[in-house]
Amino acid sequence: MLSFDEEAGMDVSGRTAVITGGASGIGLATATRLASAGAKLVLADIEQGPLDQAVKQLQGTGAEVLGVLCDVAKLGDVERLRDATVSEFGAAHVVFNNAGVGGGPTIGSPIEMWRWVSSVNLDGVVYGVHVFLPLLMEQDEGHIVNTASLAGLGGVPGMGPYCATKFAVVGLSESLFYDLALRGSKVGVSVLCPGFVRTRIGESGRNMPNDLKGIVPSREPGPLEGAAAAAVAAGIDPSVVAEHVAGAIERSEFWILPHHHVAVRTTEQRLAWMQGGTPATINLAKAARGG
Ligand SMILES: NC(=O)c1ccc[n+]([C@@H]2O[C@H](COP(=O)([O-])OP(=O)(O)OC[C@H]3O[C@@H](n4cnc5c(N)ncnc54)[C@H](O)[C@@H]3O)[C@@H](O)[C@H]2O)c1
């Protein structure tokens, strides 16, 4: 029988952290937290204006920061991100594959919606792992954090494409954990599964490709979308999530569960359902409060 310990963690001081979706929300909060611990930062984002602002804000604190315009859905962009990182700082140590977008429901979404959500939330993480992991393994030092969600631990109504990508990110991260452990690698991996966090995730449509914008009919949000938006607005502050992410890197812990008891309850309810019980009841407002 094989058993696995989580590796000793990493002191990020003087190390380089690459963060996708680094111009806003969880990415920017984590950049701020890691910079305060002495890390050098590479912020990658698809939005030039907020990216420039975020770089300026962090440089104002004395941090060494590079901003790279990057669409994580494009392999070539992620390869250029790696090259820019190595050319500026010589190495990458922390890779936070965090850029992500919300999407529509399974019922009624055009196939282009599936493709967009999947290209950012899943391909973006795959490319980040594929492009950066060889560097980390070569130096036998580093830590990858992949952003999933509580929606990657249990199905949520109205979010089929999003749930599908987040379950996939949990699966690929767990698989990678075992791959690295079996090789005795010192490279660590974590998966971040937060509940609702007060960010701009509800405005993801701002980054939708133009051809998709032309297809998705503009309409008033339904009751489920309204509840999800209210839950995000009432969610925890991104700085709380950033503290959890930094702690997991420093201690090399796989699961990052800022809403820990919701994650555990969701998993227990799924297990009970698998064993012949009933599906879980869903209360978005309560979940937002961490209940
Ligand atoms: N906010 C929540 O309640 C919540 C809960 C669970 C998981 N998450 C996840 O957290 C991650 C970060 O989201 P957030 O909540 O901080 O939202 P956010 O919208 O504030 O930040 C997301 C960032 O990703 C960038 N981005 C979008 N598409 C991109 C692309 N193709 N390439 C590069 N950058 C791109 C955006 O410009 C933005 O800066 C996402 O993966 C999201 O799914 C969020």
- 198 CA: nearest ligand 1 atom: 1
| For helices 160-182 and 111-118, angle between their N-to-C axes, nearest 10 degrees | 30
User: Of 268, 241, 239, 217, whose CA–CA distance to 32 is shortest?
Assistant: 239
Q: What percent of the chain has pLDDT over 70?
A: 93
Enclosing H/E stretch for 17: strand 16-20
- Our answer on whether the CB atom of 200 is closer than 6 Å to any ligand 1 atom is yes
**pLDDT band with cut points at 50, 70 and 90 for residue 153:** very high
Q: Which two tokens stand for residue 231?
A: 């839950």
Dist CA 51 CA 135 (whole Å): 25
Name which residue leads in pLDDT, 286 or 5: 5
pLDDT at 6 over 80: no
What does the pLDDT read at residue 93? 98
User: Of 61, 70, 12, 25, whose CA–CA distance to 43 is shortest?
Assistant: 70
Looking at the domain assignment, is residue 270 inside a domain?
no
Number of folded domains that form the chain: 1
- Our answer on whether the CB atom of 51 is closer than 6 Å to any ligand 1 atom is no
How confident is the model over 131-160, as a mean pLDDT? Answer: 96
pLDDT at 284 over 70: no
Residue 57 domain boundaries: 16-221+237-260
How confident is the model over 173-179, as a mean pLDDT? Answer: 98
How confident is the model over 37-43, as a mean pLDDT? Answer: 98
Looking at the domain assignment, is residue 76 inside a domain?
yes
Name which residue leads in pLDDT, 288 or 210: 210
Enclosing H/E stretch for 209: none
Q: Which residues are catalytic?
A: 162
What does the pLDDT read at residue 225? 77
Dist CA 213 CA 147 (whole Å): 25
Mean residue pLDDT across the chain: 93
Beta bridge partners of 192: 147, 256
pLDDT at 288 over 70: no
Looking at the domain assignment, is residue 10 inside a domain?
no
- Our answer on whether the CB atom of 70 is closer than 6 Å to any ligand 1 atom is yes
CA of 283 to the centre of ligand 1 (A): 23
Looking at residue 100, its amino acid is G
pLDDT at 125 over 50: yes
Name which residue leads in pLDDT, 158 or 71: 71
CA of 25 to the centre of ligand 1 (A): 7
Q: What is the CATH number of the domain that holds 82?
A: 3.40.50.720
| Residues 190-207 pLDDT 10s | 999 999 999 999 999 999
CA of 44 to the centre of ligand 1 (A): 12
What does the pLDDT read at residue 281? 77
DSSP assignment, residue 236? B
Q: What sign results for the dihedral spanned by CA atoms 256, 262, 265, 271?
A: negative
Looking at the domain assignment, is residue 42 inside a domain?
yes
- 148 CA: nearest ligand 1 atom: 7
What does the pLDDT read at residue 223? 73
- 196 CA: nearest ligand 1 atom: 3
Looking at the domain assignment, is residue 253 inside a domain?
yes
| Residues 58-97 pLDDT 10s | 999 999 999 999 999 999 999 999 999 999 999 999 999 9
Q: Which two tokens stand for residue 196?
A: 């609702």
Cα dist from 289 to 117, 230, 284, whole Å: 26, 11, 9
